[in-house]
Structure formats: structure tokens, C-alpha cells
């Protein structure tokens, strides 16, 4: 059965002490009973990960990295391998975020390799895809998402793909205040699930959580998360305040 998930992508926000204090506030809210039955994930910066894992230990909060490198080790100055991430006890890793595609020229080929490198170390990828504004306006969003999944995900076996969480994040909705309407989200999430079903099987497709991301906030989450094929959210701005993040966790 697919999990309900709310994941906070902190991006390049929160230093170590700010991050740890946010984790403490989230833990306190969850201990009060908010978010029962929801997988709660936070993705701090690399420099906070080790302490974040310690802070989250024994609580319902899971820790994710925001990126990784595809090679195991070597002369890649400034990069971090999946082995390093796994060795400190991190469970998830975000791969293929549109900001990495846009600002760091991440290609489909490197995204596919990063997914493989993560699975090889037992990390669970949170794989992001989604179209830019021009593609949505031209009605090409289905085509774009299908191509991304073909090139980046569909080389996996059924057993492997079941370990992946998919985050559909329309680029035009990220950090803009524009959100996909609940119906727009449902339409493309259902399309993504159909692609998974056609490629693998209906049973496999039913096990994979598909999250929505893009200006998801406490005031729009209930409607979006209420849609049949939306299993939760990958949250940017609203994940930086414990109160908002906890409200999102309670939005199912």
C-alpha cells in the first residue's frame, strides 16, 4: 500500500542550529499526535545531515539529502557520494529537483545514474519531475513527464522502482505562489500512475507514493492531498516553519 508522505525540502535555508531547532519543533508537534500514519521527512543541507540524523533518532522524523553524486568516490571536488550519505544514517535522497536541472545543468543521464547509485546503497530516492511554464501552456506536460520517466526511471526493475517516491513538481508552481489546481494535480498524478502501471503492473503502481510539490501550503493542501492519486507533498517554503509544516502533515 502506498504511504502518505510529507517531505520538507529546505533547499539552501537553515544553518545547523536553526535546522536542529526546526527538527525539535517538528518532533514536539508529532509527539502531540499530529500526523499519525504519515511518513514525515525533512531534507536539510549536507552540513546539517549528521546532526539531523541524531536529532531525529527515535522520533517519527526521517532524514533526506537534497542531492548526491552518481560516482562512488574519486576526484569530484565539492561532491558527496551516496555511500557517504548512507554511512551517516540518512534514509532518503532527493534526485532530479528542477532547481538542480535548471541551475546545475543536471541531465536525464546523470539523474538516472544518481537513482542507481542511491538504490545501490539502500537509499530511497525521492525522484522529481515536472514541466516548465511554456510546456504547460503548450499542453505538453504529459509528454514531458512521460519522457522524463522513460529516460530517468524506467530502466529500473519492478523491485527497484517500488523503493522510489515520485514527486511531481510543475516548475511554474515552485516558489511562485501559483499552485496546480487539485484537478490539475490529480490529472497528472493519475497519468504518472498509469505510466507505472503500463510499464510494470497495476500492483506496482499502487505501491508507489506520488507527491505533489509547488507552492503547497496549509491553505491549499487539504484539497490537493484529498485527491485519489496524490499521496502527499514535497514542500519548499512552507517547510521552513514548524507550524506550517505540521499543518501540512495534518492535511490528509
CA distance 167 to 230: 10
Q: Which of 39, 131, 135, 169 is catalytic?
A: 169
CA distance 137 to 109: 26
219 is a contact residue toward ligand 13P (CB under 6 A): no
Here's the x/- map for ligand 13P, 103-122, by CB under 6 A: it reads as --------------------
Touching ligand 13P, residues 158-217 (CB under 6 A): 169, 174-175, 213-216
248 is a contact residue toward ligand 13P (CB under 6 A): no
Q: Which stretch binds ligand 13P (CB under 6 A): 77-85, 102-110, 117-125, 236-244?
A: 236-244
Cβ proximity to ligand 13P, 84 vs 234, nearer residue: 234
Please indicate whether residue 169 is annotated as part of the active site.
yes
Q: Which of 97, 99, 135, 152 is catalytic?
A: 97
CA–CA–CA angle 211, 216, 221 (5° rounding): 80
Residue 176 to residues 39, 51, 125, 127, 132: CA-CA distances in angstroms?
26, 31, 25, 21, 12
Cβ proximity to ligand 13P, 97 vs 200, nearer residue: 97
Please indicate whether residue 187 is annotated as part of the active site.
no
| Residues catalogued as catalytic | 97, 169
Amino acid at each position: 500500500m502506498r504511504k502518505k508522505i510529507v517531505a520538507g525540502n529546505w533547499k539552501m535555508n537553515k544553518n545547523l542550529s536553526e535546522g536542529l531547532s526546526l527538527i525539535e519543533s517538528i518532533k514536539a508537534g508529532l509527539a502531540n499526535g499530529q500526523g499519525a500514519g504519515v511518513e514525515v521527512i525533512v531534507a536539510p543541507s549536507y552540513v546539517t545531515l549528521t546532526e539531523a540524523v541524531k536529532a531525529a533518532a527515535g522520533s517519527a522524523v526521517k532524514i533526506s539529502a537534497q542531492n548526491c553524486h552518481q560516482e562512488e568516490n574519486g576526484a569530484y571536488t565539492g561532491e558527496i557520494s551516496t555511500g557517504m550519505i548512507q554511512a551517516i544514517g540518512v534514509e532518503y535522497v532527493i534526485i532530479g529537483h528542477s532547481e538542480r536541472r535548471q541551475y546545475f545543468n543536471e541531465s536525464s543521464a546523470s539523474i538516472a545514474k544518481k537513482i542507481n547509485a542511491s538504490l545501490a546503497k539502500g537509499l530511497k530516492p525521492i525522484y522529481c519531475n515536472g514541466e516548465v511554464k511554456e510546456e504547460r501552456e503548450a499542453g505538453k506536460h504529459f509528454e514531458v513527464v512521460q519522457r522524463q520517466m522513460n529516460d530517468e526511471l524506467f530502466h529500473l526493475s519492478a523491485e527497484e522502482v517500488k523503493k522510489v517516491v515520485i514527486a511531481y513538481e510543475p516548475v511554474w508552481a515552485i516558489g511562485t505562489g501559483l499552485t496546480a489546481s487539485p484537478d490539475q494535480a490529480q490529472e497528472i498524478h493519475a497519468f504518472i500512475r498509469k505510466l507505472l502501471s503500463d510499464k510494470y503492473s497495476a500492483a506496482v503502481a499502487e505501491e508507489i507514493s506520488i507527491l505533489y510539490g509547488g507552492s503547497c501550503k496549509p491553505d491549499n493542501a487539504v484539497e490537493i492531498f484529498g485527491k485519489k492519486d496524490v499521496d502527499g507533498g514535497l514542500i519548499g517554503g512552507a517547510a521552513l516553519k514548524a507550524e506550517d509544516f505540521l499543518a501540512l502533515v495534518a492535511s490528509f
